[in-house]
Amino acid sequence: MGASERKQRELQERKALLLNISRELFLEKGFDAVSVQEICRRAEYGKSAFYGLFASKEEVFSHIKLQGFTWIASEIRKRTQGVAPDVALEESALLLCDFLEKEPRLYEFCFLFFAESFRTPAQLEEEIQTLVAEALEPVERALSVLGGSEGLAQIFYTGLLGVINHFPRHGIREAQTIRKSALQFVSHFIKGLG
């Protein structure tokens, strides 16, 4: 391995460490309570190392969201490949329930946290929107087979997220209750197409 490759690997490792530590701190204390200085202190890096990789803690947060949407897009492809349209919609709903159950704070960062104080950097926003489009595509295809019109996937997800998001907003974390409600939403949505 050459010096340039080693340096690139070390930069990627440093970036991964800073992302992991930032995520831990954001989950532990909340986004607003964490400073760049605190992230650097926990990582045992100076601020120059941080700012050599990220412009701000908001950019770090955007990278963490990107990780969440990357997982969603990948999982939705796996779960909906080769299944009946109604099953694809159910799997989409269960995927979001699983995400909320396994990674509740990351779920909140992706779907419940709307900070007006910062905007996602354009390049990261573009990557996130590409992943969202990838996640919508299997649902759009399933809805089309079931007789739905183009663009219905966004309405489906908006309603589904409304149902799922209701529970954590009201302190309800019981997985079975959330899953049952999500599947009821899917069933009613499909019936509404007929």
Q: Give the count of beta carbons closer than 10 Å to the beta carbon of residue 44.
A: 9
Domain 56-193: which CATH number of 1.10.357.10, 3.40.640.10, 3.20.20.70, 2.60.40.790: 1.10.357.10
- 43-84 residue pLDDT tens: 999 999 999 999 999 899 999 989 999 999 999 999 999 999
Going by C-beta distance under 8 Å and a sequence separation of 6 or more, which residues neighbour residue 128? 62, 65, 66, 69, 120
What average pLDDT does this structure show over 154-171? 91
| Residues 152/154/159/160 CA torsion (nearest 10 deg) | 110
CATH superfamily ID and name for 1-54 = Homeodomain-like (1.10.10.60)
What span, in angstroms and rounded, lies between the C-alpha atoms of 32 and 30? 6
pLDDT at 115: 52
For residues 169 and 160, the model is more confident at 160
**Residue 116 clears pLDDT 50, i.e. is over it:** no
| pLDDT tops 50 at residue 42 | yes
Predicted confidence (pLDDT) per residue in 15-31, tens digit: 999 999 999 998 888 88
Inter-residue contact 27 to 9 (CB < 8 Å): no
Across 6-13, average pLDDT: 91
pLDDT above 70: percentage of residues in the chain: 96
Query: Residue 2: phi, psi to the nearest 5?
Result: -80, 170
The pLDDT of 101-120, averaged and rounded, is: 76
Q: Where are the domains of the chain?
A: 1-54, 56-193
173: pLDDT confidence band, cut at 50, 70 and 90? confident
- 3-class DSSP state of 170: coil
